[in-house]
A and B are shown apart, each in its own frame.
Chain A
Amino acid sequence: MSLFQVFRVALRALVRNKLRSFLTTLGIIIGVGAVIAMVAIGEGAKARVQEAFASVGSNMLIVLPGATTQGGAMGGFGSLPTVTWEDLEAIQSELPSVRWAAPSLRSAGQLQSDEQNWSTQINGTTPEYFELRGWKIARGSGLSSSDVEAGTKVVVLGQTVVEKLYGNNADPLGQLVRIKSMLFQVIGVLEKKGQSPVGQDFDDAVFIPVSTYRSKIQGGLGNYIAGVVFVGAASAADVTRAQSEVTALLRERHRIQPGADDDFSIRNLTEMAGAMQQGTNTLTALLASIAAVSLLVGGIGIMNIMLVSVTERTREIGVRMAVGARPGHILAQFLVEALTLALLGGLIGVGLGLLTAARLASAFGWPMLVRPEIIALAVGFSALVGVGFGLYPAHKASRLDPITALRYE
């Protein structure tokens, strides 16, 4: 008896009880569908996190002045400026693993156009900052080194600021805005960047040359940088090396004794992204395992109905045995029946899961990510469930005594 024949006989038995077969597979359908949907949610969330971190900037370190631990009272990072402009220079020029280094000095301030005003964050920085963060100019030009050297009063606006001051789709290039009652010329508009991982609007900011910032907006710290330093590693592989190199360089320059605490701190965004990703991975695993439990429940449902089916068809089994079915034939028949139920449920479940995943993806506005290996895994697992839970009823059927089976009422 060929496998095809076994399959045909099994299929006919299932078709004979359509509703029952469907209800039996429902457990598997829900299980597989849930696994697919849950994993898709997890993957979508992960992609979202990745995206968010990529928008901050990739391969990036942030050097914050101030000690992480210094006795009891601490004013927080930046309250005790320890990183100097020479330090920045050294980081930029001496370390091979560092591609860019840029200062970022910021404060809140009000901008005034002819018609409107808007309070936003004013950043003083250098052209490297935009390279480092992968932030492109949408219109006009960005800050140039000559702007920084000369300390010109030019400003680059973020999209949100443009909208607030000039309205949508306005072209503010060449306009003059007032910052602290000084006139700055708008030379460029940045691309939209979106939100940070914690929901801060990156586009609600303006950028002016760091020299201008120091002389006109907030001077007074002399040699020390009253802000943070962004460091871009040469490549993703260099991030860790850059972190240790920057640490070693600053410790040396600050003459910190071995064993003493750093008087600065470095945030590794890649590491943070990794931790966050691990978090979403755990979430995905949790969701998927809950879904897997329902698959197991579905398997028990199959076993249950197969046991009923074996009892119901005892006489049929007897007849089959009388005309020459070997125990192996009977075993195969019921096993394939259980397998077919599970696989059918698995396939419908995949369809349903994909549909759910697509709906959820569009509802949450994140990319729909379904890895084919997850589908294969879900279908494979449901097949396994079918075989696993079908084995006992099938074995029971194959061990029936033909005489008893034939006389069964």
Chain B
Amino acid sequence: MSAPAATETLVRLTGVTKVYRMGDVEVQALRGVSLAIAQGGLTAIMGASGSGKSTLMNIVGCLDRPSAGRYELAGRDISGLSRAALAELRNRTLGFVFQSFNLLARTSAIENVELPLLYAGVPGRERRRRAVAALGRVGLADRLRHHPAQLSGGQQQRVALARALVMEPRLILADEPTGNLDSTTSAEVMALLQQLGDGGITVVLVTHESDIAAYAERVIVMRDGCVQSDHAQQPLRAPEPAAAAPAMLAPTTAVERPALAAPTGAAR
């Protein structure tokens, strides 16, 4: 999976609006958002609460459909798709990372990671193999049988990341992924996300913390349902975490990938 040409557009929104009805009141969550996100790299969506950033992310994540406007994911218009078709799209093309991890409680790390494979109909042995590989990529090869309650916050978020990765998606959506983590583990998770972006997966990060947005190479700021600003920046490089060997993040298919990450890898 070599990085596709940076010019290829993965996400394209054209005049997307979203209106919620809350009783008699109509809430305009999005008021005509148009933007395009290319394949690969880390993009941050920022904004205060109520700015529409979460709604935008829900639409981009195919969890919700726009009220008006057009959303194309990988060249495919999704506005008319059924719930089942959206579910399949989420399964095969998207990965989610949430602020509260959203792992299934009392379910081991590997089973959490196997979940998307289960719904994709991947047979048992293959499922196991891929889940182990994904957990290996986030440095949790030795925590397969641990339940979320037995893992630290950072480890839980890495399990969630493995779950998002396991289907080899083209787009990973991270909603405040560091919101429940301390700064050290935050940096670790950001390093992982950055490396995924470098590896050709589009990572869209929703955050209200500017020091987290600093890791992104593009920052979109939302305000009152509109894009207030959209600019590229020199991303802050996350320090290499000692615990998780970064080379593990290399996609399993590309063993000799050029060292975008520091070549400390192959340690294990």
Task: Give A contacts to B, CB under 8 Å.
Answer: 1-2, 5, 16, 315-316, 318-329, 402-403, 406
Given known A-B contacts A316-B104, A403-B58, A403-B63, A322 and B84 have beta carbons under 8 A apart: no
Cα A321 to Cα B120 in complex, Å, equals 12
User: How distant is the Cα of A403 from the Cα of B103 in the complex, in angstroms?
Assistant: 16
Contact-residue bracket for chain B:
20 to 34
Q: Which of B64, B105, B116, B121 contacts A323 (CB 8 A)?
A: B116
Contact of A327 with B83 in the complex, beta carbons under 8 Å: yes
- Kindly provide the distance from the CB of B83 to the nearest chain A CB, expressed in whole angstroms: 5
User: Once the chains bind, are A1 and B106 in contact (CB under 8 Å)?
Assistant: no
Where the two chains meet, the residues of B that have a C-beta atom closer than 8 Å to any C-beta of A are: 58, 61, 63-64, 83-84, 87-88, 90-92, 96, 98, 102-106, 115-116, 118-121, 163, 167
- B120 partner residues in chain A, CB cutoff 8 A: 324
With contact pairs A1-B118, A402-B63, A403-B63 given, residues A323 and B163 touching in the complex (Cβ less than 8 Å) = yes
A331 to chain B, nearest CB (A): 11
In the complex, are the beta carbons of B104 and A319 less than 8 A apart? yes
What is the bound-complex CA distance between A283 and B91, given in angstroms? 57
Q: Chain A contacts of B58 at CB under 8 A?
A: 403
CB-CB under 8 A from B98, the residues of chain A are: 406
Tell whether A319 pairs with B102 under 8 Å between CB atoms, given A326-B119, A403-B64.
Answer: yes
Residues of A within 8 A of B163 (CB): 323
Q: How far is the CA of A320 from the CA of B87 in the complex (A)?
A: 10
The closest CB in chain B to the CB of A315 belongs to B102
Residues of the A chain whose Cβ atoms lie less than 8 Å from the Cβ of B90: 321-324
Contact status A326-B87, CB under 8 Å: yes
Closest 4 CB pairs of A and B: A324-B91, A326-B87, A323-B116, A326-B84
Of all chain B residues, the one with the shortest Cβ separation from A12 is B107
In the complex formed, the residue of B with least CB distance to A316 is B104
Q: Which chain B residues border A318 with CB–CB below 8 Å? A: 102
Between A and B, 29 residue pairs with Cβ closer than 8 Å are A1-B118, A2-B121, A316-B105, A319-B102, A319-B103, A319-B104, A319-B115, A321-B87, A322-B90, A322-B102, A323-B91, A323-B115, A324-B87, A324-B92, A324-B116, A324-B119, A324-B167, A325-B87, A325-B91, A325-B119, A326-B84, A326-B87, A326-B119, A327-B83, A328-B84, A403-B64, A406-B63, A406-B98, A406-B102
The chain A residue with its CB closest to the CB of B55 is A403
A-B contact count (CB 8 A): 61
Given contacts A1-B119, A402-B63, A406-B102, contact A323 B84 (CB under 8 A): no
B106, B118, B121 — which one has the most chain A CB atoms within 10 A of its CB? Answer: B118
In the complex, which residues of chain B have a beta carbon less than 8 angstroms from the beta carbon of A316? 104-105
Contact: B102 with A329, CB < 8 Å? no
CA distance A122 to B61 in the complex (A): 98
Note all chain B residues with C-beta closer than 8 A to A326.
Answer: 83-84, 87-88, 119
A152 to B98, CA, bound (A): 107
Chain B residue numbers with a CB within 8 Å of A2 are: 121
Are the C-beta atoms of A323 and B63 separated by less than 8 Å? no
Closest to B123 in A: A2
Measured in the bound complex, the distance between the Cα atoms of B119 and A326 in whole Å is: 8
Write out the residue numbers on chain B whose beta carbons fall within 8 Å of the beta carbon of A325: 87, 91, 119
Instruction: Other than A324-B116, A324-B120, A403-B63, give 8 A-B pairs with Cβ distance below 8 A.
Output: A1-B118, A318-B102, A320-B115, A326-B87, A327-B83, A327-B84, A402-B63, A403-B58
Instruction: Give the residues in chain A near B92, CB-CB below 8 Å.
Output: 324
Question: In the assembled complex, how far is the CB of residue B224 from the closest CB belonging to chain A, in whole angstroms?
Answer: 20
Question: Across the interface, which residues of B come within 8 angstroms of A1, CB to CB?
Answer: 118-119, 121
Please give the distance in Å from A11's CB to the nearest CB on chain B: 13
| Whole-angstrom distance between the Cβ of B68 and the nearest chain A Cβ | 18
